[in-house]
């Protein structure tokens, strides 16, 4: 250690003082602070007087002296000096509140290495002699127990001594634990059960101890009793050593350390609210080293106050910025912060503020906000546009605030008053969404975020990544409509561009008729003919049909009418230069010039001479330089891409940049790369999008098996489970069979239950079931005739999967399904079944009551009656109309008659066992069967018919009947 700084424990608000110890100059200076303790350099001056202050010093000769700093003389004199018989280095000294002085010495012969002196006594002989012939590296008194000492001996043990026990020094090694961290012992003054020690030179380790764990042993062979073992505790840069350890003294469990590299780190340790574990079985492992966790103490936070000095210009050179020592002040600021004094190698002292209370914000399921700070301010950036565009841009910005992925903070900084500079808190919309990001998915769900791609793009307007995802999924869905991607019994719906080019469509058993052997390349050629795609124009290739179908998947426009409509749509969305790029990319320069002329005349964009460059066949060097500096100055990605093309005249250079999104770059590759280059480009981009979780990569992977790898990466990065489930529902389980999607779907359903989005969940399940069934009916065979599901699929194992009945009754308390298997129902008074043997046919068994309490009998009766949940015992729901419990038997003989008209008109109800049926479910409830039960698109229970869900909001459509879903309130 080069130097040390120590805050005076006698400092007051009017008189703040600290000590500076310089080992190199053998100097000790008492300083007084001239200014407030604010972050930055500290202004101080030396003083020489202090009341009630004694200082203990250890010398290299082994002597220890006590200095009184209350003298008025410029140079303080030593009051007492305690000498040793054999000269040796003094490693550590400690002074207790009862004026007892502990001196730790090096080992020499068989002399005692830990002496305890009484400073108040006239006798200068040690009152206690401990650790004979054992090197003592560090020693400390416990503040509230001045008779207890902790020391490290023999470079191998940490020991506890009670000076009131006279036998502790006579052969009894007292309480000890083995360790290699034997330096810089420090005790937490707010919880003296915990103390810490650090390693020797070159070992940057720190151990935190609990003295209650240290057991008495004579050999020290017991297991490590450390609570935490940080190894290394700091970043290792060359020969790294922990120079000092200091507990906060204001916040319990806060430990700071300083390393020889200048790094200062603060670790907060806390006790959990749970009770400690007392058994040795299944104890959790300690990630910070040491033994298994038997207590509830944990590391809550680690802060790095000062970075280490990793590189130096010359060996041994120090620029004066390296931190060499620190200490905590024992006062707090009005902002609940504690100051830390940091001593630089230049002997300058700086102040650093550390918050005593961490900034935590919690939002519960009831949308209640709780925080530990004094107040909360919700701020929003001021509009930077004119009044005519403020409404539109404000709506887009609000939509961007709901982005669960790109939620990085802007460049706003905190002002002096705690508010953001250049922002306003007036008229802040959607405060709940700003405070609770968890509300984003719920809000999207309630606004109709589901399986309708067009509606989804309106819901997530402003989120560029999700907009691109649903644009691609919507294009796939439109192409797959009416068997548009099926040829000769092979369905290539939702197959990505990379898979089309490589002729890999995933599990062909789910896409191909069992009676057909159509290959992917044959289907691609056939789809080109079915859709009457024009001949490919571009790079010479051996697979023109593959490129044309891939271009169609990218959204390529094959006619001028569709191209002009696309460019006009881009202009309406504010992407002016991108519309011009779209026309130039397709090779229609005259359309690009017409668009540019219209935009300039309407003063939508400025005239920068772009039209002359587009109309020219070649450009000279001066024009090329002009394009270069314009591309460097503009921030519009479309204009940058266009200028890059004008500079080089090659779209390959545009592909190397990311000015255009992936769809444009893939289309460029299909037009201008040869077959070998295109295959490499597809493989590289596909691996990149899967690795990064880029949603736009669905264009390459499609919604097949490889899309789940991409979604898994995206889910890990963003936790946007909602989008993953909705996007992958288009192909699962119809084309893809993966257990991950089922897990994601069940988790999303649990979220919908917690949000009480019961209608939204039912809407999703119905639309998903219909989506899975659409491809199973109406498939064409080789003769062009439409075949039904039964005649088309000869084997159920090879058929696309259709989900089972997705809407079920669940307990309101534990969410367990209320459906019961017929075999599990045990009637209390059963009649004679047809399968009974003659021996039991004439008897009616009665429940045995011997040995059972009435409470147990009633519980068994309720469980068998079917009116309670089998898992939690709670009552089943009541009917919303007749107020009867679900499962209540009916006493009306007319309702149980098999000739009831309602029983013949509801065959789907036969799927439910009698244990979960009610009069309302079976027969429409004679008590209220004439009442109007229509509610928000849900068919009435007992109405005698089941109408399918319509995407437009529940309108009935003739000719369709849903046989798989039973709707309940």
pLDDT digit string (tens) for 312-323? 544 555 677 889
Residue 548 has pLDDT above 80, yes or no: yes
| The pLDDT of residue 373 | 57
pLDDT (average), residues 672-688: 92
Q: Which range is least confidently modeled, 275-279, 493-497, 675-679?
A: 275-279
Q: Which range is least confidently modeled, 232-236, 365-369, 386-390, 464-468?
A: 386-390
pLDDT (average), residues 862-872: 70
| The pLDDT of residue 757 | 92
| The pLDDT of residue 803 | 54
Residue 152 has pLDDT above 90, yes or no: yes
Q: Which range is least confidently modeled, 141-150, 160-169, 552-561?
A: 160-169
Q: What is the pLDDT of residues 326-354, one digit of tens each?
A: 999 887 766 668 889 999 888 888 888 88
**Which two structure tokens, joined as six digits, stand for 243?**
């120079």
The sheet carrying 148-153 orders its strands as 136-141, 148-153, 157-162, 175-178
pLDDT (average), residues 286-309: 72
Q: What is the pLDDT of residues 712-724, one digit of tens each?
A: 999 998 889 999 9
Q: Which residue has the tokens 């707010």?
A: 190
**Dist CA 340 CA 724 (whole Å):** 47
Q: Which of 692, 729, 738 is nearest to 714 (CA)?
A: 692
Residue 397 has pLDDT above 70, yes or no: no
Q: What is the pLDDT of residues 81-93, one digit of tens each?
A: 888 888 888 999 9
- Higher-confidence residue: 145 or 781? 145
pLDDT (average), residues 111-133: 87
Residue 869 has pLDDT above 90, yes or no: no
| The pLDDT of residue 551 | 92
Helices (H), 232-272: none
Q: Which of 598, 586, 581 is nearest to 640 (CA)?
A: 581
| The pLDDT of residue 677 | 92
Q: Which residue has the tokens 């040491």?
A: 290
Q: Which range is least confidently modeled, 42-46, 162-166, 395-399?
A: 395-399
Three-state secondary structure call for residue 54: strand
Q: Which of 251, 438, 436 is nearest to 340 (CA)?
A: 251
pLDDT (average), residues 575-595: 85
Residue 386 has pLDDT above 50, yes or no: no
Residue 493 has pLDDT above 50, yes or no: yes
**Which two structure tokens, joined as six digits, stand for 78?**
């030593």
| The pLDDT of residue 812 | 64
- Higher-confidence residue: 772 or 114? 114
Give domain 53-236's CATH superfamily.
YVTN repeat-like/Quinoprotein amine dehydrogenase (2.130.10.10)
Percent share of the chain, pLDDT over 90: 24
Q: Are 130 and 116 in contact (CB under 8 A)?
A: yes
Q: Are 230 and 205 in contact (CB under 8 A)?
A: yes
Q: Which of 264, 239, 253, 284 is nearest to 189 (CA)?
A: 253
- Higher-confidence residue: 36 or 581? 581
pLDDT bin (cut points 50, 70, 90) of residue 710 is very high
**Dist CA 471 CA 696 (whole Å):** 9
pLDDT bin (cut points 50, 70, 90) of residue 57 is confident
CA-based angle 920:921:927, to the nearest 5?
15
Q: Which range is least confidently modeled, 284-293, 397-406, 640-649, 687-696?
A: 397-406
pLDDT bin (cut points 50, 70, 90) of residue 289 is low
pLDDT bin (cut points 50, 70, 90) of residue 626 is confident
Residue 432 has pLDDT above 50, yes or no: yes
| The pLDDT of residue 773 | 72
Three-state secondary structure call for residue 474: helix
What's the 3-state SS for 676-687? HHHHHHHHHHHH
Q: Which range is least confidently modeled, 278-292, 363-377, 744-758?
A: 278-292
Percent share of the chain, pLDDT over 70: 66
| The pLDDT of residue 952 | 43
The sheet carrying 17-22 orders its strands as 3-7, 17-22, 27-33, 44-47
Residue 49 has pLDDT above 60, yes or no: no
**Dist CA 369 CA 363 (whole Å):** 5
Number of residues written out for the chain: 969
| The pLDDT of residue 543 | 92
Three-state secondary structure call for residue 140: strand
Helices (H), 586-620: 589-601, 610-615
176 to each of 52, 179, 686, 878, how far by Cα in Å? 35, 9, 60, 67
* Cα first-last separation, the chain: 75
| The pLDDT of residue 334 | 65
Peptide bond just before 115 cis, omega within 30 deg: no
Residue 479 has pLDDT above 80, yes or no: yes
* Identity of the highest mean pLDDT range in 51-60, 485-494, 864-873, 913-922: 485-494
Residue 497 has pLDDT above 50, yes or no: yes
**Dist CA 410 CA 420 (whole Å):** 11
Residue 180 has pLDDT above 80, yes or no: yes
| The pLDDT of residue 13 | 75
Quote the longest CA-to-CA distance of the chain.
118
| The pLDDT of residue 221 | 45
Q: Which residue has the tokens 């509009």?
A: 383
Q: Which of 569, 572, 557 is nearest to 667 (CA)?
A: 557
**Dist CA 528 CA 552 (whole Å):** 10
Q: At what angle do helices 576-585 and 637-648 cross, to 10 degrees?
A: 40
| The pLDDT of residue 425 | 40
Q: What is the pLDDT of residues 944-960, one digit of tens each?
A: 333 444 444 443 333 34
**Dist CA 302 CA 203 (whole Å):** 20
The H or E element containing residue 68 is strand 64-68
Residues carrying CATH 2.130.10.10, the chain: 53-236
| The pLDDT of residue 647 | 82
Mean pLDDT over the full length of the chain? 74
| The pLDDT of residue 459 | 93
Alpha-carbon torsion (875, 876, 877, 881), positive or negative:
negative
Q: Are 929 and 956 in contact (CB under 8 A)?
A: no
716 to each of 196, 721, 728, 752, 783, how far by Cα in Å? 38, 9, 16, 20, 47
Q: What is the pLDDT of residues 630-641, one digit of tens each?
A: 888 788 888 888
| The pLDDT of residue 499 | 92
């Amino acid at each position: 250690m080069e130097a040390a700084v120590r805050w005076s424990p006698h400092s007051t608000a009017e008189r703040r003082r600290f000590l500076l110890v310089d080992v190199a100059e053998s100097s000790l200076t008492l300083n007084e602070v001239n200014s407030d303790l604010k972050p930055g350099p500290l202004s101080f001056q030396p003083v020489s007087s202090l009341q009630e202050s004694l200082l203990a010093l250890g010398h290299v000769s082994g002597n220890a002296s006590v200095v009184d700093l209350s003298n008025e003389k410029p140079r303080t004199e030593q009051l007492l000096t305690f000498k040793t018989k054999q000269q040796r280095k003094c490693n550590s000294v400690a002074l207790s509140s009862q004026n007892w002085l502990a001196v730790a010495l090096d080992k020499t012969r068989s002399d005692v290495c830990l002496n305890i002196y009484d400073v108040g006594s006239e006798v200068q002989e040690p009152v206690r002699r401990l650790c004979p012939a054992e090197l003592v590296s560090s020693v400390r008194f416990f503040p509230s127990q001045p008779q207890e000492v902790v020391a490290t001996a023999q470079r191998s043990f940490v020991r506890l001594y009670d000076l009131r026990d006279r036998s502790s020094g006579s052969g009894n090694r007292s309480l000890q634990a083995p360790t290699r961290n034997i330096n810089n012992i420090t005790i937490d003054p707010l919880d003296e059960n915990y103390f810490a020690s650090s390693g020797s030179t070159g070992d940057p380790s720190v151990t935190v101890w609990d003295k209650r764990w240290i057991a008495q042993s004579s050999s020290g062979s017991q297991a490590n009793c450390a609570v935490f073992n940080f190894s290394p505790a700091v970043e290792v840069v060359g020969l790294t050593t922990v120079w000092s350890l200091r507990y906060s003294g204001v916040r319990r469990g806060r430990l700071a350390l300083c390393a020889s590299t200048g790094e200062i780190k603060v670790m907060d340790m806390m006790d959990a609210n749970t009770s400690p574990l007392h058994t040795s079985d299944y104890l959790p492992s300690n990630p910070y080293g040491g033994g298994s966790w038997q207590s509830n103490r944990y590391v809550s936070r680690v802060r790095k106050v000062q970075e280490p000095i990793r590189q130096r210009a010359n060996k041994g050179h120090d620029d004066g910025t390296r931190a060499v020592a620190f200490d905590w002040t024992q006062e707090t600021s009005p902002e609940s912060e504690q100051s830390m004094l940091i001593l630089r190698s230049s002997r300058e002292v700086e102040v650093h503020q550390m918050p005593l209370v961490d900034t935590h914000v919690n939002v519960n399921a009831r949308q209640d906000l709780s925080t530990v700070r004094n107040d909360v301010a919700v701020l929003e950036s001021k509009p930077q546009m004119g009044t005519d565009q403020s409404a539109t841009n404000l709506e887009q910005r609000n939509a961007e605030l709901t982005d669960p992925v790109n939620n990085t903070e802007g460049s706003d900084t905190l002002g002096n008053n705690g508010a953001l500079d250049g922002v306003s808190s007036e008229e802040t919309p959607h405060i709940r969404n700003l405070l609770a990001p968890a509300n984003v998915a719920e809000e999207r769900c309630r606004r109709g975020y589901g399986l309708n791609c067009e509606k989804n793009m309106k819901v997530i307007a402003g989120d560029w990544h999700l907009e691109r995802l649903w644009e691609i999924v919507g294009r796939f869905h439109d192409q797959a409509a009416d068997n548009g991607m099926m040829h000769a019994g092979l369905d290539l719906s939702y197959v990505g561009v990379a898979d089309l080019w490589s002729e890999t469509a995933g599990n062909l058993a789910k896409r191909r008729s069992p009676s057909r052997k159509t290959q992917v390349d044959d289907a691609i050629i056939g789809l080109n003919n079915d859709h009457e795609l024009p001949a490919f124009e571009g790079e010479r290739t051996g697979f023109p049909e593959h490129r044309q179908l891939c271009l169609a998947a990218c959204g390529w426009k094959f006619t001028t009418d569709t191209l002009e409509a696309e460019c006009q749509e881009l202009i309406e969305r504010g992407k002016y230069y991108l519309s011009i790029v779209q026309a130039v990319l397709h090779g229609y320069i005259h359309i690009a010039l017409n668009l540019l002329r219209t935009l300039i005349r309407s003063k939508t964009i400025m005239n920068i001479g772009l039209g002359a460059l587009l109309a020219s066949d070649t450009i000279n060097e001066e024009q090329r330089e002009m394009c270069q500096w314009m591309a460097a100055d503009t921030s519009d990605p479309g204009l940058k891409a266009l200028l890059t093309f004008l500079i080089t005249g090659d779209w390959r250079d545009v592909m190397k940049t990311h000015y255009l999104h992936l769809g444009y770059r893939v289309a460029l590759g299909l037009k201008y790369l040869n077959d070998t280059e295109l295959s490499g480009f597809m493989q590289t981009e596909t691996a990149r999008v899967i690795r990064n979780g880029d949603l736009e990569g669905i264009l390459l992977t499609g919604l097949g098996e490889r899309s789940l790898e991409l979604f898994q990466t995206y889910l890990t990065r963003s936790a946007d489970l909602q989008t993953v489930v909705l996007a992958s529902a288009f192909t699962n389980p119809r084309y893809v069979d993966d257990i991950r999607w089922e897990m994601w779907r069940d988790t999303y359903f649990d979220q919908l239950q917690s949000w009480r989005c019961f209608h939204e969940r039912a809407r999703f399940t119905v639309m998903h079931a219909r989506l899975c069934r659409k491809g199973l009916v109406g498939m064409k065979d080789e003769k062009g005739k439409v075949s039904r599901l039964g005649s088309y699929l000869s084997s159920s194992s090879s058929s696309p999967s259709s989900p089972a009945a997705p809407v079920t009754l669940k307990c309101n308390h534990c969410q367990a399904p209320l459906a019961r298997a017929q075999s599990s129902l045990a009637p209390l008074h059963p009649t004679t079944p047809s399968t009974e043997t003659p021996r039991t046919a004439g008897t009616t068994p009665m429940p045995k009551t011997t040995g059972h309490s009435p409470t147990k009998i009633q519980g068994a009766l309720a469980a068998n009656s079917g009116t309670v949940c089998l898992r939690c015992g709670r009552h089943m729901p009541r009917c919303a109309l007749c107020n009867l419990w679900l499962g209540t038997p009916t006493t009306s003989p007319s309702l149980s008659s098999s000739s009831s008209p309602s029983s013949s008109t509801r065959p789907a109800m036969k799927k439910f066992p009698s244990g979960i049926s009610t009069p309302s479910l079976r027969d429409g409830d004679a008590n209220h069967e004439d009442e109007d039960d229509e509610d928000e698109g849900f068919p009435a229970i007992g109405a005698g018919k089941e109408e399918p869900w319509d995407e437009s909001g529940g309108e009935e459509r003739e000719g369709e009947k849903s046989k798989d879903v039973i709707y309940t309130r």
